[in-house]
Amino acid sequence: MDYRGRVLAFIGAVAFVVVAVLVWRPSTLLPALGDMEWFFYDWHLEATARTKPLTLEESPVVIIAMTDETPIKLAVAQILEDPFYPLPRFCHADLLAHLKRSGARAVAFDIFFTEASDHDASFAAALKAYPGTIAATRPEVNEQGQSTFVPLTGSLFGLVPASVEVLRSTGRSVRFIRPLVQDGVALDMHVPHLGVALGAAGNGALTQAAQLTGGHLRWGGLTLPLATSLGDSAALVRYLGPEGTFPILDYEEVLLSEKPSVLLKDKLVLVGRQSTLEDRHMTPLGEMTGVEILANIVTMATRNRGIRTAEAWSLWIGLLLTVVFLWLVWRFTLAPALIAPLVLGTGWVFLVHAAFLRTGVWWESATPLTMLGLAAGLATPYEILRAHRAFKTQVSASAARSAVTGRGMQLGTREVYVTVVFCDIRGFTSFCETHSADEVEKMLQSYFEAGNGAAKRFGSELDKFMGDAILLYFFEFPRLEPGAVRAVRWAWEMQRVGEQMGIQMGIGIASGVAREGFIGTAGRMQRTVIGDIVNLASRLQDATKTLETPILLSEGSFLQLTEAIAAEPLGEITVRGKQIPVQVFRPVRTQEL
């Protein structure tokens, strides 16, 4: 593996380690990235939610609702003296008796019976005829600071306590529950969730002990997948549909009905408040009452439709996506660094969504996408830098910078005052005849490296290599010496290098107004300088042969020289392509130089 491959492998390892640390830190939500993951959870559920309400025949669960008008209607029917909540427990006793006659399979009250009342005797009698009825309880902290649940009143023997606690996550939505039970019905922090308990009661397993094995809660024939990253024995709620999905019967109509309702036969019945103001919660499918949330949980538990998670694989999926991305970057250079994360990430998200729709298995998206994004965030700047460095080996640094940033990458030039330098090796053809190709290559490499190094020291860079010739130019900068002075210094530096290498050079220097910018076509352009001053520098370089001097200056360059550099006139010469003779000068080293 080359250096670039090792760098990309290091980036992948860093992305994996960073995300792994985030995932394995303690969290009550999904592993460290739960806040992001809930977005995908909501999306999955919205795509699978029912659009039509269940009929009484279709639904395994029936809600018997106590509405805001229920006490008034019971008072009108002379069942109650005062039309206010709470309803006396003899009403619940009569309702339970009616449900028994109707053949309801199991009943759960989303009502707290934690305190004694004047009508407990009649309710207790009804419970004896209908054992296994479930009632709600709520959590509390006792005097010892321990978390527990409020016990049901002792006079209601046989009433099974169950938690109706709803756990909110990001966005205050109810998305998961803790369904763990211990010895079936033990009253401590491990009481069953009411929705799960009603499902177990419907399967005749309420008196059996629940077991936690293989990442599942198993309770008789009920099997509920658990998401361990949510906390001890937590399960995701798979909502069947939004508010109004389950059939709802009015409490007073069922209570006052003289005949058993055949529609309630073998149904799981939930009794609770259905108010427009109370006990309402936000869910991924919109706002709904607590009793409707329970109905969704009962249906999920009864039909074994719990959401299975593949959270243990999320890191490895992220690693696979990262490896594919980095391989594409290594194989195809910069383009995948900009496109591949989007393509891979989008493909993974839709693959996960399709898997959920078909199998109900939730493959995490946030963790793999975070790892992929982190790798892309590290690799993309590296690739841009690498491309910039590679591009600078083909063109000037300023042209490479313009190409990478996109600034100034437009056809067109601007007028500038510039000093142009042409440098050519004397006797290069003869040198090639008497030396091997390898020796010629090494000589040229040393020659070009020396020229580029000197150019950088004097505030410029090599613009073009043309065989054994070099083109460069010096712009005027406020804090630097005039361009012509720096060009002469560069020329003398190259003369010194030529003496060490055993070669001679001819160098032409001309200063004046030129056009600088990008020329070519919209599909292929290059940055350079054009104009008469460029041609003059080239012709002066040719004239060094006839005048037998290594360096020639134009009059414009001579006028820019400072006291640090002297120059002697060589008179006027006629250069190829020009009708008017030009004045030329030869720079002279002073003692200080």
Domains of the chain, residue spans: 3-15+312-392, 61-302, 407-588
pLDDT at 186: 36
- Burial of 307: CB neighbours in 10 Å, binned 0-12, 13-18, 19+: buried
For the stretch 542-552, what's the b/e string if a residue is b when 16 or more beta carbons lie within 10 angstroms of its beta carbon? ebbeeeebbbb
Question: Is it the case that residue 49 has pLDDT exceeding 60?
Answer: yes
For the stretch 365-396, what's the b/e string if a residue is b when 16 or more beta carbons lie within 10 angstroms of its beta carbon? bbbbbbbbbbbbebbbebbeebbeeebbeebb
Average pLDDT, the chain: 84
pLDDT at 24: 57
Question: Is it the case that residue 392 has pLDDT exceeding 80?
Answer: no
Which amino acid, 564? Answer: A
Which amino acid, 329? Answer: V
Q: What is the pLDDT of residues 292-321, one digit of tens each?
A: 999 999 999 998 888 888 877 888 888 899
The predicted model gives 25-48 an average pLDDT of 69
**Cross-strand partners of 269:** 62, 107
Contacting residues for 14 by C-beta, under 8 A, at least 6 apart: 374, 378
* Secondary structure (3-state) at 224: strand
Contacting residues for 112 by C-beta, under 8 A, at least 6 apart: 135, 136, 137, 138, 150
Contact 181, 192 (CB under 8 A): yes
pLDDT band at 230 (very low <50, low <70, confident <90, very high): low
The predicted model gives 123-142 an average pLDDT of 87
Q: What is the pLDDT of residues 190-229, one digit of tens each?
A: 688 999 999 999 988 888 888 878 788 888 888 888 887 6
The predicted model gives 340-361 an average pLDDT of 89
Q: Which CATH class is domain 407-588?
A: alpha beta
The predicted model gives 154-170 an average pLDDT of 82
Contact 96, 126 (CB under 8 A): yes
Task: Write phi, then psi, for 223 (nearest 5 degrees).
Answer: -130, 125
Question: Is it the case that residue 28 has pLDDT exceeding 50?
Answer: no
The predicted model gives 421-428 an average pLDDT of 92
* Secondary structure (3-state) at 281: strand
Of 155-159, 190-194, 227-231, 370-374, least confident by mean pLDDT is 227-231
pLDDT at 188: 45
Looking at 253-362, which runs of residues are DSSP E strands?
268-273, 280-283, 286-289, 308-309, 361-362
pLDDT band at 525 (very low <50, low <70, confident <90, very high): confident
pTM (two decimals): 0.67
**Most confident of the following: 258-262, 395-399, 485-489:** 485-489
Contacting residues for 131 by C-beta, under 8 A, at least 6 apart: 158
Of 75-84, 347-356, 517-526, least confident by mean pLDDT is 517-526
Q: Take residue 574 and report the two structure tokens written for it.
A: 């006629």
Query: What Cα–Cα distance (Å) separates residue 239 from each residue in 50, 52, 76, 293, 305?
Result: 9, 14, 37, 8, 10
Contact 408, 402 (CB under 8 A): yes
Sign of the C-alpha dihedral computed for residues 220, 224, 228 and 230 taken in this order: negative
Q: What is the pLDDT of residues 529-539, one digit of tens each?
A: 888 899 999 99
The predicted model gives 541-549 an average pLDDT of 90
